[in-house]
């Protein structure tokens, strides 16, 4: 028995799930206590290590979150919006830290998370990497320094299995740019252009999404004026950067007061 925080990974068979399992299993700061998958998944009831193609780890994958979350100190959750809402309720009941990487959440989902955060620590970010969270701060500063002569466009690229657009990261960057400009993103966001769209509106923030192959995640924030252009870019080449950030968040959340937090809080980037 050890005092290290016990972590449950949801969506264990997913691209991020498997990365998270390996990250926690290789950590000296946390221990893996459970792995969840959706009902009907072929991994249910089987040893997690074995289904991942390695040695047995003594943890059977389950589709029953109730008992598992009750004895966890943190749940790291990169799944899908409906599943994340269910896990948020259970984490709130268990007073356990809920680290959420899931993107594509609706306004109603965000309200649900705010309610859950009255009882538990909820750390959520559309991107858990250090680089992107630093990029949001840079974006805010550049947007604040430039006026609307600079058109802001956010371009993101991801693999062909991604189901939501714009990416969670693109929306974080859009929020940062809007905050820098002192406007609400909802009032200035251009999220789809097709056909005779009319001229670009001054002050708007545009989004474009590329989907193809195995691209892990790439984001450009373009500030385009007449005669010059600034481009802030982040390229993720390995999902380990997201998993490391998520584990850091799970550990950071231990002993904190219930509430909603993000990776800027976890990484202490607000102080810079």
Ligand X SMILES: O=C(O)C1=N[C@H](C(=O)O)C[C@H](O)C1
Among 101, 166, 174, 206, interactor with ligand NAI by CB under 6 A: 101
Which DSSP string corresponds to 205-255? EEEEEEE-TT--EEEEEEEEETTEEEEEEEEE--THHHHHHHHHHHHHTTT
Closer of 79 and 167 to ligand X (Cβ) = 167
Which residues partner with 34 through β-bridges? 8
Q: Which two tokens stand for residue 192?
A: 């789809």
Q: Which does 78 bind (CB under 5 to 8 A by kind): ligand X, ligand NAI, none?
A: ligand NAI
Question: Smallest gap, in angstroms, from Cβ of residue 28 to ligand X?
Answer: 26
Rounded alpha-carbon distances, angstroms, from residue 223 to 181, 183, 220, 231, 250: 13, 16, 10, 6, 35
Binding segment for ligand NAI among 98-106, 141-149, 221-229, 254-262 (CB under 6 A)? 98-106
User: How many residues form the binding site for ligand NAI (CB under 6 A)?
Assistant: 25
Q: Which two tokens stand for residue 202?
A: 């001054």
Closer of 131 and 203 to ligand NAI (Cβ) = 131
Is 119 an active-site residue? no
Q: Which does 158 bind (CB under 5 to 8 A by kind): ligand X, ligand NAI, none?
A: ligand X
Residues that bind ligand X (CB under 6 A): 103, 126-127, 158, 162, 167-169, 217
Is the distance from CB of 156 to CB of 212 less than 8 angstroms?
A: no
Closer of 103 and 189 to ligand NAI (Cβ) = 103
Residue stretches of the annotated binding site for NADP(+)? 38
Is 158 an active-site residue? yes
Q: Give the residue from 24, 252, 224, 22 showing the smallest Cα distance to 133.
A: 252
> Residue 159, SS3?
coil
Question: Which residue of this chain has its Cβ atom nearest to ligand NAI in the complex?
Answer: 14
Tell me how far apart the alpha carbons of residues 143 and 181 are, in angstroms, rounded to a whole number.
Answer: 6
Report if residue 266 touches ligand NAI, rule: CB under 6 A: no
Which of the residues are catalytic? 158, 162
């Amino acid at each position: 028995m050890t005092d290290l925080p016990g972590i449950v990974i949801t969506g264990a068979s997913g691209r991020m799930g498997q990365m998270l399992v390996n990250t926690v299993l290789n950590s000296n700061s946390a221990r893996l206590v459970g792995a969840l998958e959706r009902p009907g998944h072929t991994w249910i009831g089987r040893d997690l290590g074995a289904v991942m193609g390695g040695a047995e780890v003594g943890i059977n994958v389950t589709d029953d979150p109730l008992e598992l979350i009750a004895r966890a100190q943190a749940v790291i959750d990169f799944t899908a919006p409906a599943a994340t809402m269910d896990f948020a309720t259970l984490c709130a009941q268990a007073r356990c830290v809920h680290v959420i990487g899931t993107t594509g959440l609706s306004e109603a989902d965000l309200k649900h998370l705010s309610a859950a955060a009255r009882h538990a620590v909820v750390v959520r970010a559309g991107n858990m990497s250090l680089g992107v969270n630093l990029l949001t701060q840079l974006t805010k500063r550049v947007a604040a320094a430039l006026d609307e002569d600079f058109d802001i466009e956010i371009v993101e690229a991801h693999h062909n299995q991604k189901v939501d657009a714009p990416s969670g990261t693109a929306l974080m960057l859009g929020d940062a740019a809007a905050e820098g400009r002192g406007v609400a993103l909802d009032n200035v966001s251009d999220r789809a252009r097709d056909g005779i769209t009319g001229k670009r509106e001054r002050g708007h923030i545009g989004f474009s999404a590329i989907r193809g192959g195995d691209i892990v995640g790439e984001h450009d924030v373009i500030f385009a004026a007449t005669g010059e252009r600034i481009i802030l870019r982040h390229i993720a080449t390995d999902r380990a950067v997201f998993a490391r950030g998520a584990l850091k968040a799970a550990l950071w959340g231990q002993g904190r007061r219930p509430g909603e937090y993000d990776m800027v809080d976890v990484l202490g980037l607000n102080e810079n």
